[in-house]
Amino acid sequence: MAKHLKKPEKKQKKSAAALIAAAAVAVLAAGTVAVSGVLAERSENILPGVSAGGTKLGGLDRSEAIALLEREKADVFDSSVSVRLSDDVTLEVTGEQAGLVTTPEAVADAAMAYGRNGGFIANGVAYLRSAVFGKDVGLSDGQYDEAAVHELVSEAARAANTEATNSAFEIDGDKLIVRKGAAGVLIDEAVVEDMIRTAFQSGDYGEREYEIPDSDVSDINLKAIHDTVYVEPVPAEYVKETGEVTHETIGVDFSIAAAQKLIDGAKNGETVVIPLEVTVPDDTYESLSAMLFRDVLAEKSTTMYTSSSNRVNNITLAASAINGKVLLPGEEFSFNGTVGERTTAKGYKLAGAYVGGESVDQVGGGICQVSSTIYYCTLLADLEITARSNHMFPVAYLPLGMDATVNWGTVDFRFKNNRDYPIRIDAYVKDRVLYVTLCGTKVDDSYVKLQYELISSTPPQTVEQVDETLAPGESVVKTGGHTGYTVKAYKYIYDGSDNLIKTVLLSTDKYRVQNKIILVGPPAEDGGETGGETGGETGGETGGETGGETGGETGGETGDVTADEVFA
| Tens of pLDDT, residues 379-391 | 999 999 999 999 9
φ and ψ at residue 22, rounded to 5 degrees: -65, -40
3-class SS of residue 65: helix
Q: Residue 269: which pLDDT band, with cuts at 50, 70 and 90? A: low
Most confident of 7-16, 258-267, 449-458: 449-458
1-15, 60-74, 109-123, 358-372: least confidently modelled range: 1-15
* Whether residue 217 has pLDDT greater than 60: no
Give the DSSP letter of residue 276.
-
Element housing 482 (H / E): none
Would you say 315 and 304 are in contact if contact means Cβ atoms under 8 Å apart? yes
Q: Residue 550: which pLDDT band, with cuts at 50, 70 and 90? A: very low
Indicate the residue type of 31: G
Mean pLDDT of 509-521: 92
Mean pLDDT of 522-543: 51
Most confident of 167-171, 471-475, 521-525: 471-475
- How does pLDDT run across 355-404, given as a tens digit for each residue? 666 677 899 999 999 999 999 999 999 999 999 999 999 999 999 999 99
Would you say 361 and 353 are in contact if contact means Cβ atoms under 8 Å apart? yes
- How does pLDDT run across 139-185, given as a tens digit for each residue? 765 577 889 899 999 998 888 776 555 556 788 888 998 877 554 44
Per-residue confidence (pLDDT) for residue 289, from 0 to 100 = 93
Indicate the residue type of 114: Y
Query: Can you name the residues that pair with 360 across neighbouring β-strands?
Result: 353
Q: Provide the greatest CA pair distance for the chain.
A: 189
What are the helix (H) ranges across 344-454?
A: 368-380
191-200, 267-276, 414-423, 514-523: least confidently modelled range: 267-276
Q: Residue 512: which pLDDT band, with cuts at 50, 70 and 90? A: very high
Q: Does the pTM of the predicted model rise above 0.85?
A: no
Per-residue confidence (pLDDT) for residue 197, from 0 to 100 = 86
Query: What is the rounded CA–CA span in Å between residue 33 and residue 119?
Result: 12
Q: By C-alpha distance, which of 253, 102, 83, 55 is closest to 153?
A: 83
Q: By C-alpha distance, which of 505, 499, 534, 540 is closest to 519?
A: 540
Which residues are CB-contacts of 179 (< 8 A; sequence separation ≥ 6)?
A: 168, 169, 269, 270, 271, 272
Mean pLDDT of 432-446: 96
φ and ψ at residue 537, rounded to 5 degrees: -65, -45
Query: What is the rounded CA–CA span in Å between residue 376 and residue 372?
Result: 6
Would you say 405 and 558 are in contact if contact means Cβ atoms under 8 Å apart? yes
Write the CA distances from 367 to 80, 84, 253, integer angstroms. Answer: 75, 73, 55
Share of the chain above pLDDT 90, in %: 46
CB atoms within 10 A of CB 350: 16
Element housing 2 (H / E): helix 2-5
* Whether residue 30 has pLDDT greater than 60: no
Per-residue confidence (pLDDT) for residue 489, from 0 to 100 = 97
Q: Residue 213: which pLDDT band, with cuts at 50, 70 and 90? A: low
